[in-house]
């Protein structure tokens, strides 16, 4: 298994290289440069600015310079935030996104998995219909509707929670000071988790129903294994597979930037840096985040594949 993991990580190097190359040239091919949005820039000033970021050199030379830099582990200076390095921006954005994304996904996986399993076990009853109807609503209501709604109810009207940024606030924080540091996360995590709960509960339900029809489950039941053990011991591990394979890339996605939620709650996560970097043609910032994102996807996919081996005896990673 360690062999397999190492081999996969080695293959990741050329993959990363290709991603960086493609992103680099795509970014430079997009119309307009980092300073084009500034009205009335003197040509001489523009020249000085471009020289400061080596943007006056031919694109292939810039590419070579960039590669040389990332091999030294330096993502370069950000162009929009001129007094900060991309590394420092990622260092501040990644922990926020990680905290936000992981808590939302853990909550979503627990609640969604539970709801889906219950719905599957009570298939075609009112419980099932209720769970699936709310799941449909959860998928249909996008976070840019849910987030402002939460803000309006809990922030503006009830004044329970702070509305934006990571500063504790609201009457809840004042009433229970120990709880204060958590208050800024409550609404963003809910807004981020709700649609995921919906998707995961649907996946879990379908997978559980599928597994419940398998011969080995029927055999277990025929042998007189108690219902609880059938569900926990035989059904759940197999039913978890589709959920796990969904969670892998989703973790990478959510963790590297819940753009909408970060924007509405004004959280300093990676998603906002990414979008602003792209809009402002901040080449080093966007490329830095692309690299982090690509690494997250690669690592998460590897973890999912390794988990497959644990959950499903039919998958043997060693022989892959």
Partner 1 sequence: MRSACSSPRAAGHIIGKLRLALTVAAVALFCATADARMVFNRASSADPDTLDPHKSNGNTASVVLADLFLGLTTADAAGELVPGAAESWTISPDGLVYTFKLRPDLSWSDGTPLTAEDFVYSYRRVQQPDTAARYAQWFWAVKNAQEINQGKRPVDQLGVRAVDDRTFEVTLSAPSPIFLEINATIMGYPVPRHVVEKFGNEWTAPGNHVSNGAYVLSARVPQTRVTVIKNAKFYDAANVKIDEVNFFPTENLGTAFNRFRAMELDVALNFPPEQIDWIRANLPKELHVAPNLGVYYFLINNKKAPFTDRRVRKALSAAIDRESMIEKLFDTGVTPAYSLVPVVVPNYNVGAADIAGRPQAERVAEAKKLLADAGYGPGKPLKFSLLFDTLEENRKMAVAMAAMWKPLGVEVELSNSEFRDIQRRARTGEYEVMRFAYFSPFADASGYLNLYRTGDASNYAGFVNTAYDQLMTEANATSDIAKRAELMRQAEKILMDDYAIIPIYHYAGRRLVHQYVKGWIDNARNQNQSRYLTVARPAG
Question: Can you give the binding site for partner 1, defined by CB under 8 A?
Answer: 31-33, 36-45, 48-49, 51-52, 77, 80-84, 89, 92-93, 115, 134, 137-138, 141, 148, 151-152, 155-156, 158-160, 162-167, 169, 171-172, 174-176, 194, 263-269, 272-273, 279, 281
Q: Which is nearer to partner 1, 57 or 159 (CB)?
A: 159
- With beta carbons less than 8 A apart as the criterion, state whether 315 and 308 touch: yes
Minimum distance between the CB of residue 4 and partner 1, rounded to whole angstroms? 39
Return all residues near 237 (Cβ < 8 A) that are at least 6 apart: 311, 312
Cα–Cα distance between 229 and 213 in angstroms, integer? Answer: 16
Buried b (16+ CB within 10 A) or exposed e, 23-58: bbeebeeeeebbbeeeeeeeeeebeebeeebebeee
Q: Which is nearer to partner 1, 49 or 298 (CB)?
A: 49
> CA-CA distances (angstroms) from residue 40 to 9, 36, 48, 277?
48, 9, 15, 22
In terms of phi and psi (left: phi > 0; alpha: psi -120 to 50; beta: otherwise), the region of 202 is: alpha
- The least distance separating partner 1 from the CB of residue 19, rounded to whole angstroms, comes to 24
| 204/264 with CB nearer partner 1 | 264
Q: Which is nearer to partner 1, 202 or 234 (CB)?
A: 202
Please return the burial class of 140, using the count of CB atoms within 10 Å of its CB with bins 0-12, 13-18 and 19+: exposed
**Minimum CB distance to partner 1, residue 164 (Å):** 5
CB of 302 to partner 1, least distance (A): 30
CB 120, min distance to partner 1, A: 17
Q: Which is nearer to partner 1, 103 or 134 (CB)?
A: 134
**Residue 220 burial (CB count, 10 A):** 17
Of the two residues 166 and 247, which places its CB atom closer to partner 1 in the complex? Answer: 166
User: Taking the complex as a whole, how short is the minimal distance between the CB of residue 292 and partner 1, in angstroms?
Assistant: 16
């Amino acid at each position: 298994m360690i062999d397999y993991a190492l081999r996969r990580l080695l293959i990741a190097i050329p993959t990363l290289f290709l991603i960086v190359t493609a992103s680099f040239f795509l970014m430079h091919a997009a119309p307009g440069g980092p300073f084009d949005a500034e009205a009335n820039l003197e040509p001489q000033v523009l020249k000085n600015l471009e020289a400061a970021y080596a943007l006056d050199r031919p694109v292939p030379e810039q590419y070579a310079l960039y590669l040389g830099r990332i091999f030294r582990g330096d993502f370069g200076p950000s162009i929009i935030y001129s007094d900060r390095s991309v590394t420092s921006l990622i260092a501040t954005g990644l922990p926020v996104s990680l905290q936000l994304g992981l808590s939302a996904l853990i909550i979503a996986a627990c609640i969604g998995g539970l709801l889906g399993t219950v719905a599957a076990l009570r298939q075609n009853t009112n419980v099932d219909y209720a769970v699936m109807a709310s799941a449909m609503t959860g998928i249909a209501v996008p976070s840019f509707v849910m987030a402002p709604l939460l803000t309006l109810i809990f922030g503006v009207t009830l004044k329970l929670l702070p509305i934006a940024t990571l500063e504790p606030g609201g009457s809840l924080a004042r009433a229970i000071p120990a709880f204060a540091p958590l208050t800024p996360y409550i609404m963003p995590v809910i807004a981020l988790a709700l649609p995921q709960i919906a998707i995961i509960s649907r996946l879990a339900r379908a997978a559980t129903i599928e597994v419940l029809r398998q011969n080995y489950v029927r055999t277990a039941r025929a042998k007189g294994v108690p219902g609880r053990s059938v569900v926990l011991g035989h059904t759940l591990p197999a039913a978890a597979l589709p959920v796990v394979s969904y969670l892998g890339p989703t973790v990478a996605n959510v963790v590297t930037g819940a753009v909408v939620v970060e924007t509405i709650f004004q959280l300093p996560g990676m998603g906002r840096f990414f979008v602003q970097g792209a809009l402002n043609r901040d080449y080093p910032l966007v490329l830095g985040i692309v690299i982090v994102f690509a690494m997250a996807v690669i690592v998460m996919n590897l973890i999912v594949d390794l988990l497959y081996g644990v959950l499903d005896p039919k998958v043997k990673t060693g022989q892959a």
